[in-house]
């Protein structure tokens, strides 16, 4: 059976981008067709300035939202990365397999490091080595497929390269994984700045829809979305990114295509109104279920405990074998 692994970083409240670009597919498709693991990757949240209490709260909230969105612990494994030591253990071997140049070529590192330096801040070493930890996340479980949005494909490619290299040098230890991309709304853009991604780590703005936003807040954000000055509604992502983003979101919420939808609207106002309502309806059951789970914290605790146990049992033999293959003396 195909093994799937994916992760979500607790660096901010989950957004509509996370849902349409990743989580919804995990729920609707991946957990039914494969042996899937979904991980709140809290170690990755420490690669940038962070507040300990906030990371802890966001980790729990992310796990709760994954369950609220419909991940079913009877079908898949939901857990928190730091509960399973194997991630950090294998990450070190990945650092011993990757090169410095390879890490520095990562677009996300270059962008984040440049931004940090511009602000006069310092860059944590873990921001550079992040892809080694991400490769460990994936390879520890012998994952075949890694569902991620566009921005993460480069990191999955690197995990592939590291798996191949390790296997060649030390004997077969890892399945070579591949990135799989969702078909619609792979990249949801910020409603106020449709040329940049709707990201949960960004400062809160009116351009980001959070999964737990109240319906009225969602309506307000969508109605105020930046569009362009062209006339009529057309799907032209390069020249009219604001309208294209609304069409992508509406298409993802209603299961139609953005091109078709463009033909059925002639005003931005009507498009925004329908998009707002579609988003409110898609998120409504999720918000309700989240409320129920928060009222029963023992249930979330249990899911995370059992998830970590299962994950540990899967990862340990692989990581032990890799330790042995690379030349480390097994502990007796
Ligand atoms: P992150 O928020 O960076 O931890 O991403 C978690 C998952 O959501 C990854 O698979 C991302 O590629 C995906 N994702 C994050 N933001 C967006 C977005 N605006 N549009 C589509 N997918 C996204
Ligand atoms: N780097 C991913 C992101 O920022 C999160 C992540 C960490 C991940 N480890 C992973 C995704 C392993 C897929 C598989 O979105």
**215-292 adopts what CATH topology?**
Tyrosyl-Transfer RNA Synthetase (1.10.240)
What does the mean pLDDT of the chain come to? 94
pLDDT-derived band at 230, boundaries 50, 70, 90: confident
Contact 42, 82 (CB under 8 A): yes
**Per-residue pLDDT tens over the stretch 242-282:** 999 999 999 999 989 999 999 999 899 999 999 999 999 99
The mean pLDDT value for 199-225 works out to: 91
Q: Convert the pLDDT of each residue in 124-160 to its tens digit.
A: 999 999 999 999 999 999 999 999 888 899 999 999 9
What is the structure's pLDDT at 202? 73
> In this predicted structure, what is the pLDDT of residue 201?
72
Residue 114 burial by Cβ neighbours in a 10 Å radius (0-12, 13-18, 19+): exposed
Nearest ligand 1 atom to the CA of 11 is 4
Identify the pLDDT of residue 7. 96
Other CB atoms within 10 Å distance of the CB of residue 197: 18
Residue of 11, 12, 17 to test ligand 1 pocket, by largest number of atoms within 8 Å of CB: 17
Give the Å distance between the CA of 219 and the centre of ligand 1: 22
pLDDT of residue 331: 83
Alpha helices in the chain (DSSP H): 16-18, 24-25, 31-33, 52-69, 86-95, 100-104, 107-118, 125-139, 153-170, 215-223, 241-254, 258-263, 268-294, 297-325
Q: Rg of the chain over CA atoms, in angstroms?
A: 21
272 in active site: no
- The CATH number that domain 3-181+296-326 falls under is 3.40.50.620
- Measuring from each residue's beta carbon to the nearest atom of ligand 2, which residues come in under 6 Å? 5-7, 9, 41, 44, 134, 137-138, 146, 148, 152, 155
Q: At what angle do helices 268-294 and 215-223 cross, to 10 degrees?
A: 150
Answer whether residue 110 shows pLDDT above 90: yes
- Residue 186 CA to ligand 2 center (angstroms) comes to 15
Residue nearest to atom 12 of ligand 1 (CA): 149
The rounded distance, in Å, linking the Cα atoms of 220 and 224 is 6
pLDDT at 185: 58
**Segment holding 7, helix H or strand E:** strand 3-8
**Domain edges within the chain:** 3-181+296-326, 215-292
Residue 44: partners with Cβ closer than 8 Å, 6 or more residues away: 7, 9, 11, 81, 130, 133, 134
In this prediction, residue 183 carries a pLDDT of 66
Indicate if 200 belongs to the active site.
yes
**Taking the CA of residue 259 as centre, how many other CA atoms within 13 Å lie in the half-sphere pointing to its CB?**
0
Ligand 2 site-directed mutation target among 42, 141, 148, 153, most atoms within 8 Å of CB: 148
Q: What's the predicted TM-score (pTM) here?
A: 0.94
Residue entry with tokens 């490769």: 135
99 Cα–ligand 1 center, Å: 26
């Amino acid at each position: 059976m195909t093994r799937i692994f994916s992760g979500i970083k607790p660096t901010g409240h989950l957004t509509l981008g996370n849902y349409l670009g990743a989580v919804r597919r995990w729920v609707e498709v991946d957990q039914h067709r494969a042996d899937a693991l979904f991980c709140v990757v809290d170690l990755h949240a420490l690669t940038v300035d962070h507040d300990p209490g906030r990371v802890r709260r966001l980790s729990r909230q992310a796990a709760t939202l994954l369950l609220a969105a419909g991940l079913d612990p009877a079908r898949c494994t939901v857990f928190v990365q730091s509960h399973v030591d194997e991630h950090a253990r294998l990450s070190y071997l990945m650092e011993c397999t990757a090169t410095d140049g390879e890490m520095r070529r990562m677009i996300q590192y270059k962008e984040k490091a440049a931004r940090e330096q511009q602000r006069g801040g310092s860059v944590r070493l873990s921001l550079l080595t992040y892809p080694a930890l991400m490769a460990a996340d994936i390879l520890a479980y012998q994952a075949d497929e890694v569902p991620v949005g566009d921005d993460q494909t480069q990191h999955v490619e690197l995990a592939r390269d590291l798996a191949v290299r390790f296997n060649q040098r030390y004997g077969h230890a890892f399945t070579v994984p591949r990135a799989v991309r969702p078909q619609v709304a792979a990249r949801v853009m910020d409603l106020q700045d449709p040329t940049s991604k709707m990201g949960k780590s960004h400062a809160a703005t009116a351009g980001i829809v959070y999964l737990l936003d109240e319906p009225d807040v969602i309506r307000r954000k969508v109605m105020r979305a930046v569009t362009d000055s062209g006339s009529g509604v057309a799907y032209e992502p390069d020249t009219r990114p604001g309208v294209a983003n609304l069409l992508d979101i509406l298409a993802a919420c209603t299961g139609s295509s953005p091109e078709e939808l463009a033909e059925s609207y002639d005003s931005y106002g009507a498009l925004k109104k329908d998009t707002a309502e579609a988003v409110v309806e898609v998120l409504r059951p999720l918000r309700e279920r989240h409320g129920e789970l928060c009222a029963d914290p023992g249930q979330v605790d249990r899911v995370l405990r059992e998830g970590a146990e299962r994950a540990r049992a899967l990862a340990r033999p692989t990581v032990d074998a890799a330790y042995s293959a690379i030349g480390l003396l097994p502990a007796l």
